[in-house]
Structure 1
Amino acid sequence: MLLPKGAWVVVADGEKAMILENKGTPAAPKLAVIARDEADPVVGASDRPGRMMDDGPGQRSALEQPDYARLNAERFATDLVEMLDRRARRGRFEKLVLVAPPQVLGALRDEMDDTLRGLVVAEIDKTLTNHPIPKMAEIISAEIDSL
């Protein structure tokens, strides 16, 4: 399989995402940036964990601190999928390639409806957000060729 011309490629991790389009040919992809997005900074609690009363005289238990980084990553995945869904409904793209670490791929997949999921032609479990775009195109093309 080759990367189709006009296909959108989402390269994401839990903190940032790039949406790219193949402006080249399937045999020689050339990725152009459509959009970039970054998650809001993680804000943690500065206080100690909360306490709740237990059964028994004078007994209290600590409450677990929320994992703010995980919650932020999940919210980011939800926002990214909503944006992709809006653009897919407008006919901006017909094929979608997802490139992300396994946990992010799972979060994206969980948020997608059947219509958007039907546009996904490949999923690549790699972290490429810090690579230059030409290197991304090379790696993505090689991965898709091996599918």
Structure 2
Amino acid sequence: METFTVRHGAWVVIGDGKKALVLHNEGDAELLNLRRVSVRENHNPATRQQGSDAPGRSSSPAGAGSSSIAGTDWHQIEEDRFAASLADDINTAARGHLFKDLIVVAPPKTLAELRKEFGKDTQKCIVGELAKDYTHHTIPEIESLLLTHRPQ
């Protein structure tokens, strides 16, 4: 869904696993006027700051040697939790009919996690998706960027 229209009343969710903006279009499709519905930030230190143990090792029963076991990526787990929590809030809003159209903008990993967590009511409202990170842009910049994805 690379082209879409951000109609009046549409919600735009911008997230990256650490920060999320939920915006509401009070303008129309040609002249966006995005207003903040909510903002969330999640303090999520690097995995090396969250875990203290080195990855484990396993040995072969035949005594042929040992191998390391991949360490747990605590940082990614927390980003996935954050996305699931955001999706849960969006699902609640969809069930409450707070929006008819939804545009989701997130990096590919976060977008995949959100898709996995969105319920049927939310999925029916999605009119556009972008696998991009817009969380570090201002609202006027986001409006301009979204207009570039409008059908001509």
TM-score, normalized by length of structure 1? Answer: 0.88
Aligned to 1:79: 85
Q: What is the aligned counterpart of 1:132 among 127, 138, 150?
A: 138
Moved more, 99-108 or 61-70: 61-70
Q: Which amino acid aligns with 1:26?
A: A
**What whole-Å deviation, never above 9, does each CA across 1:92-139 have from its counterpart, x for those lacking one?**
111100011122211111111222111101001221110110010111
SS where residue 8 of structure 2 aligns? Answer: coil
Residue identity (%): 30
The 5-angstrom pairing of residues 91-130 of structure 1 reads 91-130=97-136
Q: Which moved more, 1:77-86 or 1:105-114?
A: 105-114
Give the structure 1 partner of residue 15 of structure 2.
12
Matching residue of 1:47:
53
Paired residue secondary structure (1:82): helix
Whether the 8 Å CA contact 2:95–2:121 is kept in 1: the answer is: no
Q: Which residue in 2 is equivalent to 1:25?
A: 28
Q: For the Cα contact (< 8 Å) 1:11–1:98, is it kept in 2?
A: yes
Write the distance in 2 (CA, Å) between the matches of 1:131 and 1:146: 22
Q: Please give the alpha-carbon distance, in whole angstroms, between the structure 2 residues aligned to 1:125 and 1:60.
A: 40
| Whole-angstrom CA distance in 2 between matches of 1:88 and 1:115 | 6
State the 1:60 CA deviation.
5.6
> 1:52 offset after TM fit, Å?
4.5
**3-state SS, counterpart of residue 14 of structure 1:** coil
Alpha-carbon separation, structure 1, partners of 2:138 and 2:97: 28
Structure 1: stretches of 5+ with no match in the other structure = none
Gaps of 5+ in 2: none
* Shift in alpha-carbon separation, 1:5–1:81, aligned structure 2, 3 A: same
**CA RMSD across the alignment:** 2.0
The count of corresponding residues between Structure 1 and Structure 2 is: 146
Which residue type is aligned with residue 6 of structure 1? G
Q: Could you tell which deviates more after superposition, 67-76 or 77-86?
A: 67-76
Tell me the distance in 1 between the aligned counterparts of 2:57 and 2:5: 56
Q: CA deviation at 1:61?
A: 4.6
